[in-house]
Amino acid sequence: MGPRRCYHSPGFNLTCDYPSNGKPPRLLLGDGAFEVIHISLENNTMRVASHGLQDINMSSSGGRYSWSLGGVPLPFILERFRNEFILSMCNVQATLLANGGIVSGCASFCALTVETQIVGFFEHDGSKKTCSNIGCCQSSIVMGYEAYDVELKRLDGGLPVKNMMGGVDVLIAEAGWFDEKLAMDLHSLDLEFVSRRKTGLLVPVILHWALPHGEAFTDYDKRPCPADAAGRATCKSVNSQCRYVGQSTLRGCFGDCEELPGTFRCRCPEGFQGNYTIPGGCFKSVNPGHSGLIIGLSVASGPCMLVLVLGTLLIIRELKQRKAKALRRKFFTQNRGQLLKQLVSHRADIAERMVILLEELQKATNNFDQTRRLGGGGHGTVYKGILSDLHVVAIKKSNIVVKREIDEFINEVAIMSQINHSNIVKLHGCCLESEVPLLAYEFISNGTLSDHLHTEAPRSLPWEERLRITTEIGKALAYLHSAVTIPVIHRDIKPCNILLDDALTAKMSDFGASRYILVDQTGVVATTAVQGTIGYLDPMYYYTGQLTESSDVYSFGVLIVELLTRRKPSLYISSEGDGLVMQFVTLLAEGNLAKILDPQVVEEGGNEVKEVATLAMSCLKLRTHERPTMRQVEMALEALQTPKEVCNGSSVI
DSSP β-bridge partners for residue 46 = 39, 207
625 shares its domain with 576: yes
Per-residue pLDDT at 398: 72
Rounded to the nearest 5°, which phi and psi values hold at 22?
Answer: 90, 0
Distance CA 610, CA 588 (A): 9
Q: Which of 567, 574, 610 is nearest to 592 (CA)?
A: 610
* Residues 512, 622 share a domain: yes
Residues 563 and 593 placed together within one structural domain of the fold: yes
Domain enclosing residue 94, as ranges = 45-209
262 part of a folded domain: no
CB 538 within 8 A of CB 555: yes
Examine residue 228 and state whether it is found in any structural domain, yes or no: no
Count up the domains in the chain and report the number: 4
Pairing, β 76-78 against β 168-174: unpaired
Query: Rounded to 5 degrees, what angle do the CA atoms 521, 524, 526 make?
Result: 95
Tell whether 186 and 294 lie within a shared domain.
no
Residues 303, 167 share a domain:
no
Q: What are phi and psi of 95, to 5 degrees?
A: -125, 130
Cα separation, 375 vs 497, whole angstroms: 12
pTM: 0.49
Residues 108 and 136 sit within 8 Å (Cβ to Cβ): yes
Domain match, 518 and 419 both = no
| Cβ count near 438 (within 10 Å) | 25
Return the DSSP state at 217.
Answer: P
Residues 585 and 458 in one domain: yes
> DSSP readout, 275-312?
-TTSTT-EEEPPPGGGHHHHHHHHHHHHHHHHHHHHHH
**CB of 179 closer than 8 Å to CB of 129:** yes
Residue 492 annotated as catalytic: yes
CATH number of residue 384's parent domain:
3.30.200.20
Note whether 511 and 532 are same-domain residues.
Answer: yes
- Of the candidates 584, 566, 564, 563, the residue with the CA atom closest to the CA atom of residue 574: 584
Averaged pLDDT in 10-residue chunks for the chain of 653 residues: 59 81 83 84 84 65 75 72 83 85 84 47 47 80 82 69 56 82 50 49 82 45 41 40 41 66 71 76 65 66 82 85 75 61 54 74 89 76 88 81 64 75 88 78 90 91 95 95 84 92 91 60 55 90 88 96 94 87 93 93 92 96 93 94 56 47
Q: Is there a single domain that holds both residue 350 and residue 411?
A: yes
Question: Is 379 a member of any domain?
Answer: yes
Would 303 be classed as within a structural domain?
A: yes
Does residue 6 belong to any structural domain of this protein?
Answer: no
d(CA 326, CA 436): 15
Q: CATH number for the domain including 465?
A: 1.10.510.10
Give the pLDDT confidence score for residue 80 in this predicted structure. Answer: 78
User: Are residues 525 and 503 in contact, defined by beta-carbon separation less than 8 angstroms?
Assistant: no
pLDDT of residue 404: 63
Bind-site residues for ATP: 403
Is residue 22 in some structural domain? Answer: no
Is position 237 within any domain? no
Q: Max Cα separation, the chain?
A: 133
The answer to whether residues 132 and 55 belong to one domain is yes
Q: Of 174, 209, 244, which residue is a domain's last? A: 209
- Of the three residues 372, 407, 442, the one that is the final residue of a domain is 442
Does residue 628 share a domain with residue 491? yes
Residue finishing a domain among 442, 467, 495: 442
**31 located within any domain:** no
* pLDDT at site 247: 35
Query: Residues at the annotated binding site?
Result: 403
- Strands 498-500 and 515-516, sheet pairing: unpaired
Same domain assignment for residues 459 and 573: yes
Write down the pLDDT at residue 649: 45
DSSP secondary structure letters along 518-541: -B-TTSPBPB----S-TTTS-HHH
The active-site residue, picked from 169, 179, 492, 510, is: 492
Burial of 271 (0-12, 13-18, 19+ CB in 10 A): exposed
